[in-house]
């Protein structure tokens, strides 16, 4: 199966014409249903960071575990939270605080030497959410890394035959939403055993709206 940018753009435009006006800005969601995968033999385990070409009004939040110069540069880069080793030790005994941090931030980064300690302290809270930190070397260009994550979303599916994620919001141009959708579809196809052939249906919808199934062109 394959989808074109024009098919997606048209589906987005039609979805908007059918919407019921709400008192808040609704998100636009994409749902991909999978097919021809025997979950008993082939594990469906997708946990991909997708970088969108078009951003949302609310950017993704980033937390980093770092020390020294990297921590300083991360703060200057506007990272939402910087947790240094001393603070990590302080909050280690507070499950409430650990849960709150795991829930609050979209993405986590960490200096490689801190990863074992983070795994021990945060593993049970970040692991199930698919949010374990990505290692970042001390001399890494943290400004550009954080900047790219602002435009990103995590796409997950574990043992499930469907994938759902936000791709836009009311007010965004039809083309921008469709291009974000294509970014997700492309990333998912690369992780599936038979690529696009494993995608059964693509559905696009507003958070409070009716789903619209996008016609898939057979290969």
Domains 5-57+152-214 and 62-149 are alike in CATH topology: no
Instruction: Give domain limits for the chain.
Output: 5-57+152-214, 62-149
Q: Is the pLDDT of residue 1 over 60?
A: no
Span 62-149: which CATH code?
A: 3.40.50.790
Give the 3-state secondary structure of residue 108: strand
What is the per-residue pLDDT for 67?
Answer: 95
CATH 2.60.120.560 fits 5-57+152-214, yes or no: no
Tokens encoding 135: 């290692």
Q: Residue 157 class from Cβ within 10 Å (0-12 exposed, 13-18 middle, 19+ buried)?
A: buried
Give the integer Cα–Cα distance in Å for 204 and 8: 9
Q: Determine whether 142 is exposed, middle or buried from the number of CB atoms within 10 Å of its CB (0-12, 13-18, 19+).
A: buried
- Does residue 207 surpass a pLDDT of 70? yes
Is 19 a residue whose pLDDT tops 80?
no
CB 129 within 8 A of CB 60: no
The H-or-E segment that residue 27 falls in is: strand 27-34
Rounded Cα–Cα distance for residues 18 and 108 (Å): 38
pLDDT digits (tens, 9 = 90+) for 134-174: 999 988 999 999 999 999 999 987 777 889 999 999 889 99
Confidence (pLDDT) at 42: 64
């Amino acid at each position: 199966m394959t989808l074109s940018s024009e098919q997606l753009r048209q589906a987005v435009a039609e979805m908007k014409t059918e919407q019921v006006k709400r008192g808040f800005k609704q998100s636009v969601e994409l749902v991909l249903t999978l097919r021809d995968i025997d979950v008993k033999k082939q594990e469906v385990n997708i946990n991909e960071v997708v970088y969108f070409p078009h951003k949302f009004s609310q950017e993704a939040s980033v937390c980093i575990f770092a020390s020294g110069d990297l921590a300083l540069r991360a703060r200057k880069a506007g990272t939402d939270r910087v947790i240094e080793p001393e603070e990590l030790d302080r909050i280690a005994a507070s499950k409430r605080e650990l849960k709150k941090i795991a829930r609050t931030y979209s993405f986590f980064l960490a200096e490689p030497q801190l990863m074992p300690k983070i795994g021990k302290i945060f593993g049970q809270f970040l692991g199930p959410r698919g949010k374990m930190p990505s290692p970042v070397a001390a001399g890494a260009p943290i400004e550009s890394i954080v900047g790219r994550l602002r435009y990103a979303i995590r796409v997950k599916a574990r043992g499930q035959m469907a994938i759902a994620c936000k791709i836009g919001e009311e007010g965004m141009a039809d083309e921008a939403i469709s291009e974000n959708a294509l970014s997700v579809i492309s990333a998912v196809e690369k992780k599936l055993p038979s690529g696009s052939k494993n995608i059964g249906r693509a559905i696009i919808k507003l958070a409070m709206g009716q789903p619209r199934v996008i016609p898939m062109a057979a290969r």
